Amino acid sequence: MSVIDYPKDTIVTFSEEEKLFRETVREFCQKYIAPKWVEIDEAADKEPMNIPIDTIKKMGEQGLFCIPCSEEYGGQGGTYTMATIAIEEIAYADPSVALAVYALLNTGWPFALELFGKEEVCQEIIPEVAKGDAFFGIASTEPQGGSDVAGLRTTAVKKGDVYVFNGEKAYISGVGEVQKLSWGGGWFTLARTGEPGHRGLSAFALLARKNGELKPGWNPTLYEDIGRHGLTTGGFILEDFELEKDYLIGEENKGFYYVMESFNLARIVVSAATIGAARWLLEQAVQWFKDRKLFGGKSIASFQGVSFRFAELYARWEAAKYFVYRASRLADKIYIEKDPAYKPKDLNVPVALAKNYGPETCVDLAEEVMKWYGAYAYTKEAPIFRAWLGPFSYVIGAEGAQNIMKYIIARDIIGRDYVSQ
């Protein structure tokens, strides 16, 4: 039974259809994910290739991937708000956020492919991702630094009907999944096709493996992550890797703009994952306050040093939810309803607020819950640390460093001429 009732909410309101959708997703996640998330995290910690393929397949059958993608591509034809609700519920059931991150990448980036890519490429990739047979994420980061996207070095040189890639991508989610899932998959990626700087970058649907076959010239490696073990992170070197020219996304040398716009979409669901994990953490705290009695049988929540801190973090969680759903509603206006009054750049500040606020609230809360648990939190029997280390990936920088979010807010509110990067 849920300790914190949700969604009884006056700031963000949901339609009856959305409430029913949330209930259905929650029921699925509580049945198939919540009982297994610790086991998944532990197994994959021991061996990163212990990818929970059965659960991923089940999630695909339940329609949890590609929610806003068109039905003609095997997507769910849903809204971005529905995707946001689903990701929040997945993270509530798996607060290590591994499965939520799997689902959010395979929502935001196939949707971005649909926005900018060629029809045949969408027809080939999105149905496989929706079924849970392929992974399709983002590969922009390179070893020399992820924040400076315009400075990336991987090259793609056109030779006849193919582009030939050379370079290296690092800290990329899904490197193991692409190798293990039955079909394969790859990433929305950027490579240099022109001049230095952001105007020389093109976007590609880089498939490292398709129809179960690995493509030559793609040399992967896996990292030993400190958290969210149910999803792999790795890197790959591209050595004369060939990709047919149809996999170019949109126009040559416009890739930077497509990726920046798509990051906004991905960051909404990233933030949704962190508010889902934070809800789980709040519930653990409330339960603990009911159970943990000290100083003559008093709940530790009777000490204001504890309960006031809880109240502060609860308030931040409420604010984070508002940021997340305001951004998802705006995304619906722009991309689903195609309301001409809204433009993609209207998402910049709302999304940066959500991405800045959600992960930090979740991580601060996790740290605090661990302190409230006392020494027990320092044992692996208490799973709170898993809900700390997973969301921490988003404070460190996955899908954009926190300072970059602050830069976006300052740049758009104060003005580009006054704020340097």
Nearest CB to ligand FAD, comparing residues 105 and 281: 105
Nearest CB to ligand FAD, comparing residues 77 and 397: 397
* Shortest separation between residue 127's beta carbon and ligand FAD, angstroms: 22
Nearest CB to ligand FAD, comparing residues 12 and 222: 222
Q: Where are the alpha helices (DSSP H) in 94-234?
A: 98-116, 119-131, 175-180
* Shortest separation between residue 121's beta carbon and ligand FAD, angstroms: 19
* Shortest separation between residue 253's beta carbon and ligand FAD, angstroms: 20
d(CA 260, CA 143): 19
* Shortest separation between residue 246's beta carbon and ligand FAD, angstroms: 23
Which residue is listed with tokens 């509110």?
413
Give the residue closest to ligand FAD by C-beta.
Answer: 146
Nearest CB to ligand FAD, comparing residues 206 and 313: 206
Nearest CB to ligand FAD, comparing residues 171 and 357: 171
Q: Which residues on neighbouring strands pair with residue 241, listed in sequence order?
A: 165
Q: How many CB atoms lie within 10 A of CB 111?
A: 25
Token pair for 326: 């305001």
* Shortest separation between residue 147's beta carbon and ligand FAD, angstroms: 3
Nearest CB to ligand FAD, comparing residues 25 and 91: 91
Which residue is listed with tokens 């980036």?
109
> How distant, in Å, are the alpha carbons of 33, 93, 131, 172 from that of 27?
10, 10, 20, 31
Contacts of 153 (CB under 8 A, 6+ apart): 142, 144, 167, 192
Assign 3-class secondary structure to 206-220. EEEEECCEECCCEEE
Nearest CB to ligand FAD, comparing residues 315 and 396: 396
Residues making contact with ligand FAD (CB under 6 A): 137-141, 145-147, 171-173, 233, 393, 396-398, 400-403, 407, 421
Q: Which residues on neighbouring strands pair with residue 294, listed in sequence order?
A: 298
* Shortest separation between residue 233's beta carbon and ligand FAD, angstroms: 5
Helix 119-131 to helix 53-61 angle (10° resolution) is: 110
- In this structure, are strands 184-192 and 134-139 parallel, antiparallel, or unpaired? parallel
Token pair for 324: 């997340």
* Shortest separation between residue 203's beta carbon and ligand FAD, angstroms: 12
Nearest CB to ligand FAD, comparing residues 139 and 181: 139
* Shortest separation between residue 173's beta carbon and ligand FAD, angstroms: 3
d(CA 4, CA 128): 36
